Structure 1
Amino acid sequence: MMRLLVSVRDLDEALAAAQAGADLIDLKEPADGALGALVPEHIAQIVSALRLRHPQLRISATVGDLPVGEQREILRRVARVASCGVDYVKVGLWPVPSAPGAARGLVDALAGCPANIVPVLVVDGGVDQSLVAHALEYASFPALMVDTAEKRRGSLLERLPLASLAAFVEAVHAGGALAGLAGSLRAEDAPALRALAPDFAGFRGAVTRGARTAVLDPRRVRLLRRRLAAGTCAPLAAAA
């Protein structure tokens, strides 16, 4: 069954999402970009509270929107975030047309880290399947994700060919890792997501009371969980 990843910005949202049925809690600051980071002290506080109340949940956290060429700073942040006790550290792989090997170099550096790192390919311009294959050459990464940077341009499923996303999921599974999809996904995307069959799908804007920077609404989390499981098309206003 596809798991529901919900991105949260503070302890109240984390506890609300967990209570509403999220399978994975992702810690980030949506006001600071696609992979905006929380300060490590806040990450540690949230992790501590979730471990006490919802020990079964897996927790991820981001290191921020950093260019792939800033390897030293990225690795420093990876170490700090990992020390907060999260299960996974998410690191963005941003395309650099002028330096196509930069993202591969970052993958090489991340593969040597002791933390459980989830590379997140930023795919506004399409999925770089060769970069996916390169990451899968290592046995270091428990999962790979795709996400978008320009959230206002619509859902990932509207912006990229479904065949490309299906190829990504298939390649990741063949490589022995988990596959995750994110990028302004909506509750209405549930049937297509079920057909693509990633291991988890990530949401933020679809579970808030407005923009992705608005407050999380646990009713929307509950409805989204039902939709991912059953493909129902009940309106969001009907959430219990």
Structure 2
Amino acid sequence: MKMLVSVRDAGEALLAAEAGADFIDLKEPANGALGALALPDVAHIVSVLRGRQPGLRISATVGDLSLQQADEILRRVERVAACGVDYVKVGLWPEPSEPGLASTLVDALAACAARIVPVFVADQGIDLALVEHALASGAFPALMVDTADKRRGSLLQRVPLATLAAFVATVRARGAMAGLAGSLRAEDSDALRGLAPDFAGFRGAVTRGGRADALDPRLVRLLRRRLAAGAGAPLAAAA
């Protein structure tokens, strides 16, 4: 299982990379669950990482936009992709009153030239039919699950493990990568290993306080070791 770490600037990106992150995800936690960084900041971080960590994969978000803002989402996808990231993350926010909007947006995203990772916001559960619809296009290299309200605890506390396992199995069976995120904690490591997603995403678990606080590379190293070692892995100070 790979580890994705969300960062807000070039300094955090380098610290996370040097501490063992496999993917670097560019976002501004103070702006929401998938809060977007300014485009010049995205471009700067990409430039720094390409110079220092050329093999590292980089993603960036387009921001917390509703399904009704499809035109703006598509514009932002194009602009974020132009900054040189490997993947552009787009949140799919539930719209119970207009269920067809999500499928329509997925179809539009599938037609984009950018490599897009749809992120299924799972505060009210996961729409596995929509997941299947996204996979049917064969256009997406990865699909993720995340949560919007970070105050309500870990994804693993809020979505049944059986549902998460079904998501991972469905995505991997179609040859795409499956990712899990949403206030994940170091204590979730053993359960994550059991679910076996291709990658798990972290922010609050590797900061010195809340998710909007500074990243702590020591916590990144500790989490990397725990994810790799599994049950019973010691949380002694990392070298």
TM-score, normalization by structure 2: 0.98
Amino acid at match of 1:12: G
The answer to whether structure 1 residue 234 and structure 2 residue 234 are counterparts is yes
Cα pair 1:69 1:106 within 8 Å, conserved: no
Amino acid at match of 1:39: A
Distance of 2:164 and 2:97 partners within structure 1: 25
Cα pair 2:120 2:126 within 8 Å, conserved: yes
Amino acid at match of 2:234: A
Amino acid at match of 1:40: L
Q: Which SS does the other structure have where 1:69 is aligned? A: helix
In structure 2, what is the equivalent of residue 174 of structure 1?
173
Distance of 2:168 and 2:115 partners within structure 1: 19
Output one character per residue of 1:176-227: Cα deviation in whole Å (capped at 9) or x when no partner: 1000000000001000000000000000000000000000000000011001
In structure 1, what is the equivalent of residue 153 of structure 2?
154
Output one character per residue of 1:54-109: Cα deviation in whole Å (capped at 9) or x when no partner: 01100000000000121110000000000000000000000001001111111010
In structure 2, what is the equivalent of residue 16 of structure 1?
15
In structure 1, what is the equivalent of residue 33 of structure 2?
34
Distance of 1:159 and 1:108 partners within structure 2: 28
Structure 1, unaligned runs of 5 or more: none
In structure 2, what is the equivalent of residue 50 of structure 1?
49
Amino acid at match of 1:191: D
Distance of 2:124 and 2:238 partners within structure 1: 34
Distance of 1:102 and 1:198 partners within structure 2: 27
Distance of 1:127 and 1:139 partners within structure 2: 20
Cα pair 1:123 1:147 within 8 Å, conserved: yes
Number of residue equivalences = 238
How far is 1:238 from its partner?
3.4
Distance of 1:112 and 1:225 partners within structure 2: 35
Amino acid at match of 1:97: P
Distance of 1:233 and 1:128 partners within structure 2: 34
Distance of 2:11 and 2:46 partners within structure 1: 12
Distance of 1:239 and 1:184 partners within structure 2: 22
Write the mapping of 1:95-106 to structure 2, written as runs, cut at 5 A.
95-106=94-105
Amino acid at match of 1:174: A
Cα pair 1:144 1:172 within 8 Å, conserved: yes
In structure 2, what is the equivalent of residue 201 of structure 1?
200
Q: Which SS does the other structure have where 2:67 is aligned? A: coil
RMSD, aligned α-carbons = 0.9
The answer to whether structure 1 residue 131 and structure 2 residue 130 are counterparts is yes
Write the mapping of 1:181-200 to structure 2, written as runs, cut at 5 A.
181-200=180-199
Output one character per residue of 1:93-130: Cα deviation in whole Å (capped at 9) or x when no partner: 00001001111111010000000000000000111100
Distance of 1:154 and 1:178 partners within structure 2: 24
Q: Which SS does the other structure have where 1:238 is aligned? A: coil
Distance of 1:107 and 1:55 partners within structure 2: 30
Amino acid at match of 1:25: I
In structure 1, what is the equivalent of residue 5 of structure 2?
6
TM-score, normalization by structure 1: 0.97
Q: Which SS does the other structure have where 1:70 is aligned? A: helix
How far is 1:234 from its partner?
3.3
Q: Which SS does the other structure have where 1:48 is aligned? A: helix
Poorly superposed stretches of 4+, deviation over 2 Å = 232-235, 237-240
